[in-house]
């Protein structure tokens, strides 16, 4: 290879960048900056409203104007600031009512009144909000075309939460505009104010504004089990991550999520861990375990189990036949729903190849086949179909789901991925009204080879239980899409994980040795518990694992003789009979994993002893996988007000996670740290 030939690489000059893209990027980045600052401030105010508000927009505008006299500002900043201020002045002097153009007239008073009402509790000035909203309103006019292009700033928290809008009756377009422009300084503030003035249900905690409308199946933490009485723990693996995205959205909006929304295992499994990969494709899992002292109770240990799925080499993903089944009911007409959905699917198209096929069915609202099966390479046609979707109209589409499966079967790819992807904000009126009939139908189609995944959008109407049930019956996964970034993670970066199952009905069973372990508690997986006898029963459905996915579970163990043992031994039990370990005395327990390959009906078994060799002396000496997983487990349990973990402080959790961040190229672990900060600020600790 000659040098001069390689030097030609330096001649690659980028094409002239588009000013529009540049302006948009800078604008969105400044929004993100504002939300980051607002979060920082919110985190330091310890949840007391009004104590330290994010810098007022007027203050920094004044600052800018002082600067303006000295030297020229960049075009972007000027554009951002001058126009809104001009409009602000206009609005405060002119007597003429505001004409909003082609859109429905918007009653600015409504949200302002509402804001004032909410502000009263915090003792902050309502007029400031009025100003901000006018500014936002004005900025929007200038940049409406831009807003249509990119409806959402990726990491920015929702300026006004959709649930809040439901309570106060602000019309959707109003919200849409506020959010679409990613307004200047309002974003962090209004969410923060809304939360700060929400009625505090538990002393010292800011919880969701009353009635988020999202429904979660209630569940209790798994209790402590006595090994002598119940030596065997069985559960189905769970690779869903929906709960993490929900928790993140809640915290970013300024309230602590309700306990039932926090599924600790989904929080833990949101992150990717650096487990050893299976070496052989015929055994699709590798297991990695470690035992560390518990950070919340010196008398206990934590057993971290990591199961790593086989990774499909790039380029070897089987062809996909995807049917998007899209909810177009009226409630989808919010910026974080249909517009985000359309953008998300457009992004996904880029990750699909020419062998993949896409079709689109709409249900509720404008129902029917929107796009017949089309090769993914015909991007323009698919995009046009996606963009033609609009929410609202009559609720007619009854046959939605049957239509979707019909298309999936028409375009069936042998040895490929055949999947219906249901996208909704909670309206499951897909044509079969009886939930059990619906799950049966999905399960039957699963057996015929078409899987179903569910993507949840927006908040306020989400029925988490049904979402989980449908996805589990469909051998797919449930994801909650709150930002474009999350959409990218699920639909682009992890498309193989999302689409290609490498194993189904994956169950884990752990048996503890009563001579060594007195008590145990499985952290999370409450909704995934199985009966002991289900483990060997291949008829019992369990979780599925996509290519490259990993699953992490943590057990809290109380060794025999530890001061932390909770339950006294039975007076009349025959200790001799129970304390007769069959295995090596080095064994603390025995790990078993059952899985079926995607096209098989009988399961395979992987097993290994849990030995004392896995123990490390201190948490600090544990590997980063363990430390980070334990930090996330602590965080989730603390959010659920678990009595065992509550004594751990947010700072301890944060430090633990910060020390285990690793390379974190995509910034997810850094984001977790900021969530811990937010939670700390919102709880009065």
Q: How far is the CB of 179 from another protein (least distance, A)?
A: 15
Choice between 13 and 447, CB closer to another protein: 13
Nearest to 37 by CA among 143, 176, 185: 185
Given candidates 44, 48, 62, 63, which one binds another protein under the rule CB under 8 A?
63
Helix/strand/coil (H/E/C) assignment for every residue in 114-180: HHHHHHHHHCCCHHHHHHHHHHHHHHHHHCHHHHHHCCCCCCCCCCCCHHHHHHHCCCHHHHHHHHH
Q: Which two structure tokens, joined as six digits, stand for 534?
A: 């289900």
Choice between 274 and 671, CB closer to another protein: 671
Choice between 76 and 684, CB closer to another protein: 76
Choice between 671 and 685, CB closer to another protein: 671
Q: How far is the CB of 141 from another protein (least distance, A)?
A: 22
Q: How far is the CB of 627 from another protein (least distance, A)?
A: 20
The answer to whether residue 351 forms part of the interface with another protein (CB under 8 A) is yes
Sequence-separated (6 or more) residues with CB below 8 Å from residue 207: 198, 200, 201, 255, 256, 258
Q: How far is the CB of 129 from another protein (least distance, A)?
A: 19
Helices vs strands, H then E, count in the chain:
23, 16
Given candidates 176, 264, 352, 469, which one binds another protein under the rule CB under 8 A?
352
Contact string (CB under 8 A) for another protein, positions 301-340, x = contact: -------------xx-x-----------------------
Distance CA 185, CA 80 (A): 11
Give per-residue burial for 146-173: e unless 16+ CB within 10 Å, then b: ebeebbbbebbbbbbbbbbbbbbebebb
Distance CA 150, CA 290 (A): 45
Given candidates 44, 49, 66, 515, which one binds another protein under the rule CB under 8 A?
66
Give me the residues paired with residue 608 across strands.
Answer: 591
The alpha carbon of 210 is separated from its chain's Cα centroid by a whole number of angstroms, namely 22
Choice between 54 and 589, CB closer to another protein: 54
Given candidates 86, 223, 353, 368, which one binds another protein under the rule CB under 8 A?
353
39 burial class (0-12, 13-18, 19+ CB within 10 angstroms)? buried
User: Is the Cβ–Cβ distance between 630 and 295 less than 8 Å?
Assistant: yes
Q: How far is the CB of 81 from another protein (least distance, A)?
A: 10
Choice between 569 and 667, CB closer to another protein: 667
Choice between 248 and 446, CB closer to another protein: 248
Strand locations in 204-252 (E):
225-226, 232-236
Task: Kindly indicate which of the ranges 205-213, 240-248, 349-357, 576-584 contains the residues binding another protein, using the contact rule CB under 8 A.
Answer: 349-357
Contact string (CB under 8 A) for another protein, positions 17-56, x = contact: xx--xx-xxx-xxxxxxxxxx--x--------------x-
Sequence-separated (6 or more) residues with CB below 8 Å from residue 653: 631, 634, 635, 638, 676
User: Is the Cβ–Cβ distance between 683 and 47 less than 8 Å?
Assistant: yes
Q: How far is the CB of 419 from another protein (least distance, A)?
A: 16
Distance CA 200, CA 180 (A): 30
Contact string (CB under 8 A) for another protein, positions 69-108, x = contact: -xx--x-xx-------------------------------
Choice between 380 and 571, CB closer to another protein: 380
DSSP labels, 404-445: HHHHHHHT--TTSEEEEEEEESS---SS--SHHHHHHHHHHH
Phi, psi of 362 (to 5 degrees): -105, 145
Q: Which of residues 617-676 bind another protein (CB under 8 A)?
A: 665-667, 670-671, 674
Given candidates 58, 64, 624, 658, which one binds another protein under the rule CB under 8 A?
64
The answer to whether residue 380 forms part of the interface with another protein (CB under 8 A) is no
Q: How far is the CB of 2 from another protein (least distance, A)?
A: 9
Task: Return the CA Rg of the chain.
Answer: 27
Q: How far is the CB of 72 from another protein (least distance, A)?
A: 10
Q: Which of residues 123-182 bind another protein (CB under 8 A)?
A: 153-155
Choice between 149 and 646, CB closer to another protein: 149
Sequence-separated (6 or more) residues with CB below 8 Å from residue 276: 286, 288, 308
Task: Kindly indicate which of the ranges 3-11, 384-392, 503-511, 607-615 contains the residues binding another protein, using the contact rule CB under 8 A.
Answer: 3-11
Choice between 205 and 668, CB closer to another protein: 668
The answer to whether residue 372 forms part of the interface with another protein (CB under 8 A) is no
DSSP labels, 485-525: HHHHIIIIITHHHHH-EEEEEEEEEEEE-TTTEEEEEEES-
DSSP H helical ranges for 304-337? none
Nearest to 424 by CA among 456, 397, 393: 456
Q: Which of residues 490-509 bind another protein (CB under 8 A)?
A: 492-493, 495-496
For 305, the 3-state DSSP assignment is strand
Q: Residues touching another protein: how many (CB under 8 A)?
A: 62
Q: Which of residues 432-491 bind another protein (CB under 8 A)?
A: 485
**Chain length of the chain:** 685
Q: Which of residues 515-534 bind another protein (CB under 8 A)?
A: none
Given candidates 8, 380, 539, 571, which one binds another protein under the rule CB under 8 A?
8
Q: How far is the CB of 142 from another protein (least distance, A)?
A: 18
**CB atoms closer than 10 angstroms to residue 251:** 25
Q: Which of residues 576-595 bind another protein (CB under 8 A)?
A: none
Q: How far is the CB of 418 from another protein (least distance, A)?
A: 18
The answer to whether residue 12 forms part of the interface with another protein (CB under 8 A) is yes
Distance CA 285, CA 5 (A): 45
Q: How far is the CB of 51 from another protein (least distance, A)?
A: 17
Q: How far is the CB of 353 from another protein (least distance, A)?
A: 4
The answer to whether residue 291 forms part of the interface with another protein (CB under 8 A) is no
Given candidates 67, 202, 579, 621, which one binds another protein under the rule CB under 8 A?
67
Given candidates 148, 230, 350, 613, which one binds another protein under the rule CB under 8 A?
350
For residue 8, give the DSSP letter: G
Nearest to 224 by CA among 213, 216, 233: 233
Contact residues for another protein, defined by CB under 8 A: 1, 5-12, 14-15, 17-18, 21-22, 24-26, 28-37, 40, 55, 60, 63-64, 66-67, 70-71, 74, 76-77, 153-155, 314-315, 317, 350-353, 356, 485, 492-493, 495-496, 665-667, 670-671, 674
């Amino acid at each position: 290879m000659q040098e001069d030939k390689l030097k030609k690489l330096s001649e690659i000059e980028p094409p002239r960048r588009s000013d529009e893209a540049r302006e948009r990027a800078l604008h969105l980045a400044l929004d993100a900056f504002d939300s980051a600052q607002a979060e920082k401030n919110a985190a330091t105010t310890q949840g007391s409203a009004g104590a330290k508000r994010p810098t007022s927009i007027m203050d920094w505008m004044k600052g800018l104007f002082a600067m303006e006299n000295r030297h020229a500002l960049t075009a972007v900043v000027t554009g951002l600031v001058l126009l809104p201020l001009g409009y602000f002045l206009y609005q405060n002097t002119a007597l003429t009512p505001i004409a909003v153009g082609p859109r429905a007239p918007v009653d600015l008073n409504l949200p302002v009144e509402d804001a004032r009402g909410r502000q009263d509790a915090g003792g902050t000035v309502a007029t400031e909000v009025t100003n901000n909203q006018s500014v936002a309103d004005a900025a929007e006019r200038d940049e409406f075309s831009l807003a249509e292009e990119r409806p959402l700033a990726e990491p920015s928290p929702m300026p006004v939460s959709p649930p809040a809008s439901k309570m106060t009756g602000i019309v959707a377009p109003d919200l849409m505009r506020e959010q679409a422009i990613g307004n200047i300084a309002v974003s962090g503030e209004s969410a923060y104010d809304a939360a700060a003035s929400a009625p505090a249900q538990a002393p010292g905690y800011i919880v969701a504004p009353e009635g988020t409308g999202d429904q979660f199946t209630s569940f209790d933490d798994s209790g402590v089990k006595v090994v002598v009485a119940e030596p065997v723990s069985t559960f189905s693996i769970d690779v869903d991550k929906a709960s993490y995205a929900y928790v993140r959205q809640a915290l970013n909006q300024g309230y602590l999520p309700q306990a039932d929304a926090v599924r600790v295992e989904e929080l833990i499994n949101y992150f990717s861990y650096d487990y050893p990969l299976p070496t052989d494709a015929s055994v699709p899992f590798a297991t990695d375990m470690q035992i560390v002292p518990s950070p919340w109770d010196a008398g206990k240990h934590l057993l971290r189990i990591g199961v790593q799925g086989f990774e499909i080499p790039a380029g070897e993903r089987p062809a996909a036949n995807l049917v998007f089944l899209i909810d177009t009911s009226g409630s989808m007409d919010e910026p974080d729903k249909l517009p985000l959905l359309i953008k998300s699917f457009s992004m996904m198209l880029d990750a699909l190849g020419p062998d993949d096929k896409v079709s689109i069915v709409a249900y509720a609202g404008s129902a029917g086949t929107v796009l017949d099966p089309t090769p993914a390479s015909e991007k323009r046609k698919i995009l046009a179909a996606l963009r033609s979707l609009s929410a609202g109209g009559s609720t007619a589409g009854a046959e939605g789901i049957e239509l979707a499966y019909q298309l999936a079967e028409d375009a069936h790819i042998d040895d490929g991925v055949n999947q219906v992807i249901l996208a909704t904000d909670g309206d499951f009126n897909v044509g079969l009204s009886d939930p059990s009939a619906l799950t049966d139908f999905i399960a039957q189609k699963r057996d015929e080879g078409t899987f179903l995944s569910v993507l949840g959008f927006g908040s306020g109407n989400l029925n988490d239980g049904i979402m989980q049930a449908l996805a589990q019956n469909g051998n797919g996964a449930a994801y909650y899409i709150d930002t474009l970034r999350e959409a990218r993670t699920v639909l682009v970066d992890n498309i193989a994980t999302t689409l290609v199952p490498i194993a189904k009905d994956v169950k884990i069973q752990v048996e503890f040795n009563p001579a060594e372990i007195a008590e145990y508690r499985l952290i999370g997986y409450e909704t995934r518990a199985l009966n002991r006898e289900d483990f060997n029963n291949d008829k019992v459905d369990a979780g599925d694992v996509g290519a490259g996915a990993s699953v992490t579970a943590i057990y809290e163990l109380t060794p025999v003789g530890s001061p932390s043992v909770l339950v006294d031994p039975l007076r009349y039990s025959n200790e001799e009979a129970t304390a007769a370990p069959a295995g090596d005395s080095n064994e603390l327990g025995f790990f078993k994993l059952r899985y079926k390959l995607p096209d098989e009906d009988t399961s395979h078994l992987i097993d290994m002893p849990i030995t004392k060799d896995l123990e490390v002396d201190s948490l600090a000496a544990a590997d980063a996988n363990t430390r980070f997983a334990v930090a996330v487990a602590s965080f989730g349990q603390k959010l659920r007000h678990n009595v065992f973990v509550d004594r751990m402080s947010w700072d301890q959790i944060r430090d633990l996670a910060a020390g285990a961040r690793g390379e974190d190229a995509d910034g997810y672990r850094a984001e977790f740290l900021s969530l811990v900060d937010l939670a700390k600020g919102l709880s009065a600790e």
